[in-house]
């Protein structure tokens, strides 16, 4: 078997077992990568049909046919949204497969760091091992992956917009989409089942505890990041109301600096500076940088702050807030792909 005999009597052997379990999932998925991608696409659409019609928060699968960042798609009323998200998609998804793998690994490390901090706060001494790249085979399925990420962004965008009108409806859709129906993503659950069965009997209790706490922490980390990107509107609101009388003075110690610093501060958690993580990742992973440079978070924040200081209207603020919300949703879509091993929707969990 893939999982060597281990008794999990020590934390180290639990960590080793967990590492083997992850490796097992990677091997099972890699053996038939195409079918897993197909399943995600089809099952997500079924879930949307179920979770968005009955709850007063509507989203049709036809609306999802255009990419979430398509200038003529559902966000065409927000050009800055498509410009920013389109730029990030180009920087992360439309790059050679080695660059993409590097980006996935760096993002996984950052999520693990968040989850590790959360485990410590729960007094769990488990050290999360390096997560193997579950998507190593993905380079030949770039279009499908882009479509799956776009679907995820569409879903989160809609939940967010519904929430502005009716929090209860949005919450119902959000809860439903996580566990839409019995037998959701069956092949994924089968992979988890196969690998769970290979865990030595004496390891199962410890592995159960470790996996559960880790997955809860990963979920918390994702929620926290989403919340930071979703509440960016408050930052812009505060900036422009406190000092609404003065004209935009661009330069050192100016409103621009204040705006940029406030946005960056808003993206810091106790474990990560997400603004720094994203830019360091792009800098490290993208080997052939375009002549105009990579559209970094730094550039996006500078552009966003300049635009908001020039046009202080409520519409401009709302659009900029929406653009950041969509970037957060895109990051969550990236994280979602690597945290599929949690399988909270599977029957045996």
pLDDT at 285: 93
Give the tens place of pLDDT for each residue, 197-210.
999 999 999 888 88
Which of 237-241, 304-308, 326-330 bottoms out in mean pLDDT, i.e. has the lowest?
237-241
Calculate mean pLDDT across residues 129-153: 90
Tokens standing for residue 309: 């200081």
251 Rama class: left (phi>0) / alpha (psi -120 to 50) / beta: left
* Single pTM value for the model: 0.90
Report, in angstroms and rounded to the nearest whole number, the Rg of the chain calculated over CA atoms: 21
Give the tens place of pLDDT for each residue, 82-139.
999 999 998 888 889 999 999 999 988 998 888 888 888 888 888 888 888 989 888 8
Tokens standing for residue 243: 């000092």
Residue 208 belongs to what H/E stretch? helix 204-230
List the domain boundaries for the chain: 11-66+76-342
103: Cα separation from own chain's centroid: 13
- pLDDT above 70 (res 243): no
Question: Phi and psi at residue 115, in whole multiples of 5°?
Answer: -65, -40
Contact 207, 14 (CB under 8 A): yes
């Amino acid at each position: 078997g893939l999982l060597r005999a281990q008794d999990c009597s020590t934390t180290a052997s639990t960590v080793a077992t967990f590492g083997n379990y992850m490796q097992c999932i990677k091997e099972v998925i890699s053996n038939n990568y195409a079918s897993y991608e197909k399943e995600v696409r089809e099952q997500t659409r079924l879930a949307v049909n179920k979770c968005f019609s009955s709850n007063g928060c509507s989203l049709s699968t036809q609306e999802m046919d255009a990419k979430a960042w398509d200038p003529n798609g559902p966000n065409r009323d927000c050009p800055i949204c498509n410009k920013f998200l389109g730029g990030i998609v180009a920087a992360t998804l439309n790059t050679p497969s080695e660059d993409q793998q590097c980006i996935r690994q760096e993002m996984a490390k950052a999520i693990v760091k968040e989850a590790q901090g959360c485990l410590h706060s729960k007094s769990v001494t488990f050290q999360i091992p390096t997560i193997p790249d579950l998507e190593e085979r993905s380079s030949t399925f770039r279009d499908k992956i882009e479509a799956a990420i776009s679907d995820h962004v569409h879903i989160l965008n809609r939940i967010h917009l519904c929430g502005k009108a009716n929090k209860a409806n949005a919450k119902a859709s959000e809860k439903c989409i996580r566990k839409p129906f019995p037998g959701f993503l069956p092949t994924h659950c089968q992979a988890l089942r196969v690998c769970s069965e290979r865990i030595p009997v004496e390891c199962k209790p410890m592995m159960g505890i470790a996996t559960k706490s880790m997955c809860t922490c990963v979920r918390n980390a994702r929620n926290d990041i989403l919340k930071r990107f979703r509440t960016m509107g408050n930052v812009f609101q505060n900036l422009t109301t406190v000092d609404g009388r003065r004209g935009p003075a661009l330069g050192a110690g100016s409103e621009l600096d204040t705006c940029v610093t406030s946005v960056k501060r808003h993206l810091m958690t106790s474990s990560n500076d997400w603004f720094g993580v994203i830019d360091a990742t792009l800098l490290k992973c993208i080997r052939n940088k375009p002549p105009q440079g990579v559209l970094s978070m730094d550039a996006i924040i500078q552009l966003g702050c300049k635009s908001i200081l020039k046009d202080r209207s409520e519409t401009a603020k709302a659009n900029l807030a929406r653009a950041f919300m969509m970037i957060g949703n895109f990051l969550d879509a990236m994280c979602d792909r690597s945290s599929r091993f949690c399988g909270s929707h599977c029957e045996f969990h």
